[in-house]
């Protein structure tokens, strides 16, 4: 029988950016810019960092590059920040290996996406439950399920999440679909203590109001203080302020998470004093018209 991890009671409240991966002009990992970004983020009220998630272009990274990035961010991060490693890949075997390597480096939580290559075989509750249980049984740190059906084409069912919430080493889910009704159903049905986080900046405030404990937001790479402002308004029960800031960030968030994706987000980071740089091929930088659109949307979200 699997014993609960000593970290299974960790609290995941707050805002976590899934760190964008900096590349230099030769397409290699760019250490100095990793430290530049983390040092700037350390001065904010973020709760921690997720490294090698979708925003970090994890599907474009080798295992060795993931180990390197995990090490660099762990070295640069403020000591009070929770470190989350994106470790999910298609097979149970490799996901376990990556998760346990992240644990050795000092990461406290693994974010594991739904496998999706064989969609017709994995897009059902039984297969999803088996995958995450198999990983959790051998993982040295707790798991956070990661659901982003817009990209993977696989949408983990509420039933699967409810069943997985009973596993002592599965403690949370990052629900990035933006489906508020689904998020509410999870919150209502999962085991007490299981934590639901949102991955959708355009619905951050409604998700917090519905009971999400925090958020893992790509948008926070470019505008961390705006995200933190909504979080703090939520904590202080200042609904009017939270709604106001939600309206302010939504157009910009939609541009860099839905319309232009990672290339747009990286440009917004450059515009806002962080280092975004270029994505790794086959992703390509955005054009001039898109840049102007992002600059206008982020005009009041500087810093």
CATH number of the domain bearing residue 226 = 3.20.20.70
Residue 188 within a domain: yes
Asked whether the predicted pLDDT for residue 39 surpasses 80, the reply is yes
Mean pLDDT score of the chain, rounded to an integer? 95
pLDDT on residue 303: 59
pLDDT (tens digit per residue) in 112-125:
999 999 888 888 99
174 is catalytic: yes
The pLDDT of 210-237, averaged and rounded, is: 97
CB 107 within 8 A of CB 141: yes
pLDDT on residue 32: 98
Considering only CA atoms, which of 197, 199, 202 is closest in space to residue 187?
A: 197
Asked whether the predicted pLDDT for residue 1 surpasses 50, the reply is no
Q: How many domains does the chain have?
A: 1
Residue 290 within a domain: no
Residue 250 within a domain: no
Contacts of 277 (CB under 8 A, 6+ apart): 22, 23, 24, 30, 33, 266, 270
The pLDDT of 243-252, averaged and rounded, is: 97
Asked whether the predicted pLDDT for residue 285 surpasses 60, the reply is yes
pLDDT on residue 165: 98
Asked whether the predicted pLDDT for residue 51 surpasses 70, the reply is yes
Name the catalytic one among 9, 31, 140, 174.
174
CB 212 within 8 A of CB 267: no
Residue 295 within a domain: no
Domain that holds residue 145: 14-245
């Amino acid at each position: 029988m699997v014993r609960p991890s000593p970290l299974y009671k960790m609290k995941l409240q707050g805002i976590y950016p899934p760190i964008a991966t900096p590349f230099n002009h030769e397409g290699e990992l760019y250490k100095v810019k990793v430290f530049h970004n983390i040092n700037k983020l350390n001065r904010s009220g973020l709760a921690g960092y997720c490294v090698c998630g979708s925003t970090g272009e994890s599907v474009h990274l080798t295992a060795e590059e993931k180990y390197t990035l995990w090490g660099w961010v762990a070295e640069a991060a403020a000591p009070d920040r929770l470190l989350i490693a994106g470790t999910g890949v298609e097979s149970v075997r490799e996901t376990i290996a990556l998760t346990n390597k992240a644990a050795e480096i000092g990461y406290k939580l693994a974010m594991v996406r739904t496998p999706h290559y064989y969609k017709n075989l994995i897009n059902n509750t039984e297969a999803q439950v088996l995958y995450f249980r198999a990983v959790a049984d051998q993982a040295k740190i707790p798991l956070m399920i990661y659901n982003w059906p817009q990209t993977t084409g696989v949408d983990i069912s509420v039933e699967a999440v409810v069943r997985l919430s009973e596993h002592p080493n599965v403690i949370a889910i990052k629900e990035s679909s933006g489906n508020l009704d689904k998020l509410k159903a999870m919150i209502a049905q999962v085991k007490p203590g299981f934590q639901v986080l949102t991955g959708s900046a355009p619905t951050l405030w409604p998700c917090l109001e519905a009971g999400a404990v925090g958020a893992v937001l790509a948008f926070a790479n470019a505008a961390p203080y705006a995200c933190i402002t909504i979080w703090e308004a939520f904590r202080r029960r200042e609904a009017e302020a939270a709604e106001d800031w939600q309206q302010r960030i939504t157009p910009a968030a939609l541009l860099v998470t839905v319309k232009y994706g990672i290339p747009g987000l990286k440009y917004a980071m450059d515009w806002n004093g962080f280092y975004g740089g270029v994505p790794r091929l086959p992703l390509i930088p955005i054009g001039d018209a898109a840049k102007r659109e992002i600059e206008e949307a982020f005009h009041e979200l500087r810093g």
